[in-house]
Structure 1
Amino acid sequence: MAFEANFDGLVGPTHHYGGHSFGNVASTGNAGQAANPRAAALQGLAKMKALADLGYRQGVLPPQQRPAVWELRKLGFAGSDETVIASAARNAPQLLASVYSASSMWTANAGTVSPSADTGDARVHFTVANLQNKFHRAIEHEQTARTLRAIFRDDARFAVHDALPMHPAFGDEGAANHTRFAKRYDEPGVAFFVYGRQHWGGQTEPQKYPARQTLEASQAVARLHGLSDAHVVYAQQNPAVIDAGVFHNDVIAVGNLDVLFCHEQAFLDRHATYRALDASLGGLRVVEVPLSEVSVADAVKSYLFNSQLLDRGDGSMRLVVPEECRNHAAVWRWLQAHVQPGAAISELLVFDLKQSMQNGGGPACLRLRVALTDAEAAAVVPGVWMNERLFAMLGTWVEKHYRDRLAEADLADPQLPREVQTALDELTALLGLGSIYPFQLN
């Protein structure tokens, strides 16, 4: 037997609104506001626990060590950690905010995952995303690889590949631009890669915001995972929606098993995309939201499609959406009319994820999907699986270590890095991960 597990990113203690992500309108629009790291982490934990209570296998991925002082040293800042931080605060505050970013919470960008049913060597493959388009995210990949190897440490069952070369030709944003379709989780499926541009090829590209995922990166991941060409589909994202703020495909489309839920304008050639997926899978159910009912702007503001499709076991799906969907009349009207018994999407779950949403990440951003067999799940480090005990321990841990207010000015506080290291040292013990952070390895 096999199933889909979700590994959610635990929001880190330096969660703040730095506005680092050009092209993500929520991120840039809320820049400079004070954040609440404690509330952010508790909101994420509440979602994890609720889905675990429904019977879904739910894992936790820990945050990264921040600030990444070692990156500041590479850029010419010298002295003790306190001196480096103070100097950056005076001379390059935006740079300091970047190395404090808690963006690893959005684990849909941690990497791309292919289950053992699809890969050439029958192992679960991960390729860590390089995230080279944004500095604050490009510094994540080394820690992401360490974390994944600590959790999925059985080399006989799991393979974790390092990030692709740090070059614009291989811009890779991970599972945010990848969906795996299948009739069953334990049967060979179809890997669906969505790209924003082709580095060598001269296709139409967005004009306002960058296309972060390249076709060349997607092709490289497929090769690394040993995927069959007959079970891979590539499609270009509509450049117009990237310019409207759809910085990843998971802001405009989501899929699970044989269901694709998307906006009419998600893909450059939607009919060709649907036909290719249907032919490769042997039957695809498309739930398409027309432009006449929900605008792209409302889709971006509400994060209607940055949602989770969860298998109910009866042929239909649960849809997990953020509370913001209630606040957009057209979006809520569409959901009320179309999510109902007997439909492909038959149930709606709404969660308050305001702290993440204000930084540009919804339910889908917060999770990395990993299809596992029972034997593979048993090989995962057991401490990361959500249950009553872990939920209680992590809640207590957050209340103990997280601030309830963090503004950019607070990033100059020399006490904050010490607070983070104390918290992460306890967390790795709670999760049973061993030493994975730079301060633990030095």
Structure 2
Amino acid sequence: MSDLQLNISELPGPTFMYSGLSKDNVASVQNKHLVANPLKFAQLSLQRMRLLLDEGVPQVIFPPHRRPDMQALEVCGFTGDMSHMISSADKFSNGYLESLLAASSVWTANAATVTPSADSEDGKVHITTANLNSHYHRSIEASQTHAKLARLFSDDKFFCLHQALPGHSRFSDEGAANHMRFHVEAENRGLNVFVYSNDPDNPEFVQGRQTLWASKAICQLHALPDSKVLLQKQSKEAISRGIFHNDIISMNSHDLLVFHQQAYEDHESLIEKLMAQGICCVEIKAEEFSLEHALKTYFFNSEFISGKDGGLVLVMSKSCQHDAKVQVQLDRIQTAYSKEIKTMYVDLDDSLRNGGGPACLRLRVQLNQEQFSAIPSQFLLTQNKLEALQEVVTRFYRESLSYEDVLTEIFQRNLQPVYTKLEQILGWNHN
């Protein structure tokens, strides 16, 4: 059976703001308290989803996580109705309520790590929900994300869903943003590369987004043979300059890796092993393309998909479209790669201001046809769903949103009904 790639994305929520909650995310910090436009971001996200649908990419769209997170409030002793809880949380501590309102679950590359059945010893697709332990506003996403994944991958004949790893700094896990899979036709199993930022066994251990312990644990949970796993350390230089995930300093398809020269510590061994498997590896030199330029353009956060004609398509942010340095590197990649790469550009400026490009907005799931048939059809994206989502977003999302707006009674009163409408359209309102 031929395999396909299912993309899992999420519609941006109506509380999307620029709260500057991730201190290691340059864009997030620089744009803190900028007035947000949730309507525009949602509309542009729908355009991207439509483009992928037109290219034949099957998609599941999660409804946005309900915000504020009432469970997180109750756990910390807040009581009363939503309005009272919001008012109390606002007074509790600077940034606390903003964390509970964050729409950061839209970046589904951090939702989980997924490995296909061909790679595991038990022949199942394995999924581990990410604990996102490095930042509070993201750590509260795990429970809602896991519940959605459990409904999506409910058939245990094909799927094995694992709970998030322990919520401790030594097991900090940020999902598929730090995982790459490579596969050539001559091999049954793929080669899985797990990129980590910190090693808890190192005496100088400082919490990072992805730890070696987390990556090792996922390999064990997913029943991956040691011979088909590579553990690669991200470079200190990249981390110190604001590269907080692997997917903003490298990108890959099944047989192609494009990476920045300063992405990894001692990357020679990694590249040698990949090339020995027939993987095309393209190194982008720092003297031609700095880490700062990588963050400015989010070039490495572009998204590879298989187009409707079966060819490789690279979906990039429009910030790359007229960038001379990007175009030079695209020419180099095309020269090195044996097949034609088609390019497409999408407007994701609102997401980029919070540090997320095209690849951040999707979780890749490789399935064979039988496994795909086990996905409940109610969750699959259709043109009709896109039109219905467009109508709700246009009617209820705000063109301008600041923290002060969220504190108003009218905003709070209209918030939960919007979530309900979106859940109904996307098929998530009933079991």
Same fold, TM-score > 0.5, yes or no: yes
Answering whether residue 373 of structure 2 is matched by residue 378 of structure 1, we say yes
Alpha-carbon separation, structure 1, partners of 2:361 and 2:323: 22
1:164-313 matches, cutoff 5 A: 164-184=165-185, 187-202=188-203, 211-279=208-276, 282-312=277-307
Shift of 1:147: 0.7
Shift of 1:417: 4.0
| Equivalent pair of 2:282/2:333 in contact (CA under 8 Å) | no
1:11-410 matches, cutoff 5 A: 11-184=12-185, 187-202=188-203, 211-279=208-276, 282-312=277-307, 317-326=312-321, 328-335=323-330, 338-339=333-334, 343=338, 346-410=341-405
**RMSD of the TM alignment (CA)?**
2.2
Partner of 1:439: none
Shift of 1:12: 1.0
Shift of 1:382: 1.4
Letter in 2 for 1:377: F
Letter in 2 for 1:195: Y
The 10-residue stretch of structure 1 (321-330 or 246-255) with the greater mean CA deviation from structure 2: 321-330
Identity %: 38
Letter in 1 for 2:35: A
* Residues 350-387 of structure 1 deviation map (CA, whole Å, 9 limit, x = unaligned): 11001111111000100000001111111112133223
SS at match of 1:365: helix
Runs of 4+ residues over 4 Å off in structure 1: 312-316, 336-345
Alpha-carbon separation, structure 2, partners of 1:418 and 1:180: 45
* Residues 165-195 of structure 1 deviation map (CA, whole Å, 9 limit, x = unaligned): 0111101000000011112599421111000
Unaligned runs of 5+ in 1: 437-442
Shift of 1:312: 4.9
* Residues 16-39 of structure 1 deviation map (CA, whole Å, 9 limit, x = unaligned): 100111111011110101111111
The verdict on how the C-alpha distance between 1:408 and 1:112 changes in structure 2, with shifts beyond 3 A counting, is same
The 10-residue stretch of structure 1 (137-146 or 325-334) with the greater mean CA deviation from structure 2: 325-334
Unaligned runs of 5+ in 2: none
SS at match of 1:41: helix
SS at match of 2:313: strand
Alpha-carbon separation, structure 2, partners of 1:78 and 1:433: 27
Letter in 2 for 1:170: F
| Equivalent pair of 1:85/1:414 in contact (CA under 8 Å) | no
Shift of 1:42: 1.3
Alpha-carbon separation, structure 2, partners of 1:418 and 1:111: 32
Alpha-carbon separation, structure 2, partners of 1:271 and 1:314: 35
Alpha-carbon separation, structure 2, partners of 1:384 and 1:260: 31
The verdict on how the C-alpha distance between 1:273 and 1:344 changes in structure 2, with shifts beyond 3 A counting, is farther
SS at match of 1:319: strand
TM-score (norm 2): 0.94
The 10-residue stretch of structure 1 (401-410 or 31-40) with the greater mean CA deviation from structure 2: 401-410
SS at match of 1:254: strand
Letter in 1 for 2:305: L
SS at match of 2:120: coil
Alpha-carbon separation, structure 1, partners of 2:262 and 2:14: 37
The 10-residue stretch of structure 1 (269-278 or 111-120) with the greater mean CA deviation from structure 2: 269-278
SS at match of 1:218: helix
Alpha-carbon separation, structure 2, partners of 1:37 and 1:307: 22
Alpha-carbon separation, structure 2, partners of 1:308 and 1:215: 25
| Equivalent pair of 1:49/1:386 in contact (CA under 8 Å) | no
The verdict on how the C-alpha distance between 1:315 and 1:288 changes in structure 2, with shifts beyond 3 A counting, is farther
The verdict on how the C-alpha distance between 1:377 and 1:410 changes in structure 2, with shifts beyond 3 A counting, is same
The verdict on how the C-alpha distance between 1:124 and 1:253 changes in structure 2, with shifts beyond 3 A counting, is same
Alpha-carbon separation, structure 2, partners of 1:314 and 1:235: 34
Letter in 2 for 1:292: E
